[in-house]
Copies of this chain bind each other. A is one copy, B any other.
Amino acid sequence: MLKRSWIESANDAEGDFPLNNLPYGVFSTAEAGPRCGVAVGDMILDLARAEKAGLTGTHGLLQAPAWNSFMAEGPQAWEALRTRLTELLAEGAEQRAAVEPLLVAMSGARMHLPIEVAEYTDFYASRQHATNVGTMFRGAENALPPNWLHIPIGYNGRASTVVVSDTEVRRPVGQTRAKHAEMPSFGPCKRLDIELEIGAIVGTPSRMGEPVTTAQAQEMIFGYVLLNDWSARDLQAWEYQPLGPFQAKAFATSISPWIVTRAALAPFAVPEPEREVPLLPYLRTDFPGNYDVDLSVEMNGHTVSRTNMQRLYYSAAQQLAHHASSGCAMRTGDLLGSGTISGDTPDACGSLLEMTWGGQTPLDLGGESRTFIQDGDILTLKGHAQGDGYRVGFGACTGRILPAPDFP
């Protein structure tokens, strides 16, 4: 049920940011540089100033241009702040007069990366996506790798190029080899793609040499963002054997600016899909680790795909438990991409590669058609969980593609 706020725009049943959500971001305005804030309706509550005014119950954790210090405090602190903010912003709140001057219109703010990304890992946890891509890259018989039903397959991505939504992205350049060609060539990517993913953000760390259970992993997760793992398919096809994707994924990864907390998503928790084969004990869960979140992809304003986070075969908690299983230390600020989320039909897939089946079936964008991305195209991911009379929304994760840079 909608929790009503004295900020009227937060009571819109179609809005992304009701009081039930309270997602965390980092914003700047003409008056002051990047600092912590929380979204409520079409406003941002300036948490740096709220903390200084003694309203948040925290001390020196919300002044930095990143949520890392606060995240490192752990679940009790997360719960306390959420409770406090809910009180301050609820209809009839006693402290409205103190809070009101600390609100900033979202339309006048610029958003920044909400966290300092420690490391970025990208998983491959949607079965339909793995099957589709496997079919195209390796043939139908070898589509799903033999380990896929046992391991949440993942690889380390590049953290230095994780950028916030609205950052323009240059078309990458790189090596490709044409079919039957003897030598590769070097030039701008010709098969530039998106990947619709959810990113889980690790709040509390684990120690080197100490695996964690799925239940512990779940407690370590602070929240979620939309994530676009931009992909250069032609570079990827030529480079990825035997050590995995590298430059095909290294040029940019966009995330939405607002971290939707695990607490806000809790009412929408659902179990992972049925297992085809039993999981090894270290990956089993006794809690629902997936979420019912509707997701969509827009290309130049046209919706080209709709899917749901429930399609993930492995939850973020399972991914994280696997990530730490060898003894790998996990850090505050680690970002875990879910892998592209795809459904059963082309218009439920999370990549253009799948929607167009490798470029064979162009998309109709109201007169124009597209297979892969052209310079100037704008790609937008959206997502929300639907409650009874309210939504918990992620906002948008968007990016426009610029022409390739000059290269040596």
Contact = CB atoms under 8 A, between A and B. Distances in A.
A241 B154 contact: no
Interface string A144-181: 01110011011111111101000001101111010000
Contact of A157 (B156, B208, B242, B280): B156
B242 A138 contact: yes
Given A170-B209, A173-B211, A244 B155 contact: yes
B326 A251 contact: yes
Contacts of A323: 247, 250
A161 B326 CA distance: 11
A326 B209 contact: no
B155 A155 contact: yes
Nearest to A155: B243
A61 interface: no
Contacts of A242: 134, 137-138, 145, 153, 240-241, 244
B245 A243 contact: yes
Given A160-B119, A235-B326, A246-B155, A280 B150 contact: no
A35 B332 CA distance: 25
Nearest to A152: B246
A322 interface: yes
Given A119-B158, A407-B211, A326 B145 contact: no
A326 B232 contact: yes
A301 to B, nearest CB: 25
B247 A172 contact: no
A287 interface: no
Contact size class for A?
A: 35 or more
A156, A184, A325 interface centre (most CB from chain B within 10 Å): A156
A104 interface: no
A353 interface: no
Interface in A254-272: none
A92 interface: no
A161 B243 contact: no
A211 B246 CA distance: 15
A252 B326 CA distance: 9
A282 B277 CA distance: 47
A385 interface: no
Contacts of A184: 147, 150-151, 280
A281 interface: yes
A151 B407 CA distance: 16
Given A172-B327, A282-B186, A210 B160 contact: no
Given A243-B124, A282-B407, A328 B251 contact: yes
B118 A160 contact: yes
A287 to B, nearest CB: 15
A146 B181 CA distance: 12
Contacts of A118: 160
B239 A408 contact: no
B408 A281 contact: yes
User: Which 7 interchain pairs have the tightest Cβ spacing?
Assistant: A244-B244, A170-B209, A156-B156, A250-B328, A247-B326, A251-B327, A172-B326
26 contacts: A119-B119, A119-B158, A119-B159, A147-B184, A150-B184, A151-B175, A153-B239, A155-B244, A155-B246, A156-B250, A160-B328, A161-B208, A169-B209, A170-B209, A174-B326, A186-B280, A186-B282, A208-B252, A235-B326, A240-B242, A242-B244, A244-B244, A250-B323, A251-B328, A252-B327, A282-B407
